Amino acid sequence: MKCIIYHNQKCSKSRETLELLQNRGLNPTIIEYLKNSPKVDELEKIISRLKINPKHLVNFKESKAKELGISANDSLTYKQWMKILTKNPELIERQIIVTSKGAVIDRPPENVLKVLD
C-alpha cells in the first residue's frame, strides 16, 4: 500500500505514527513538511482528501498562531487560510497520513488505522 506521512521529526506523536506504520510492514513516503512546505495545489489535494476546510488544518495551539493573531473563531476565506498554511507550515496540524483508502489527521496515532487496509 502506498502511504505518505507528513512528518515532523520533533513531534513525539509523529514519530509514534511513523513507527506504527513501519511495524505494520509499510515503508511510507516521508514528507518533512517543515523543510518542504506543501504548495497550494498539494495542500488542496490533502484538504480535499480529508474533507475539511483549510481552517480545520490549523493547529491554533502553535505560538505562530498567536503571533499572527489568528484563532479558530476567525472567519477568513478559503484562500486566506491556504495562504496562511503555505507560508507557515508549522501551523499545519500534524501528522497527516494519506493512503489509497483516504487521509487522516493522526491524533491520536491510532487514527492511522482508519486509512490502512
Three-class secondary structure of residue 22 per DSSP: helix
What is the gyration radius of the CA atoms in the chain, in angstroms?
14
78 pLDDT more than 80: yes
Grid coordinates given for 51: 474533507
Per-residue b or e along 24-33, where b marks 16 or more CB atoms closer than 10 Å to that residue's CB: eebebeebeb
Average pLDDT over residues 97-108: 89
Q: Which CATH number describes the domain made up of 1-33+94-117?
A: 3.40.30.10
Catalytic residues: 11
Q: Delimit the domains of the chain by residue range.
A: 1-33+94-117, 38-92
d(CA 68, CA 30): 28
Query: For residue 73, what pLDDT is reported?
Result: 94
pTM score of the predicted model: 0.88
Grid coordinates given for 10: 520533533
**CB within 8 A of 75, min separation 6: which ones?**
none
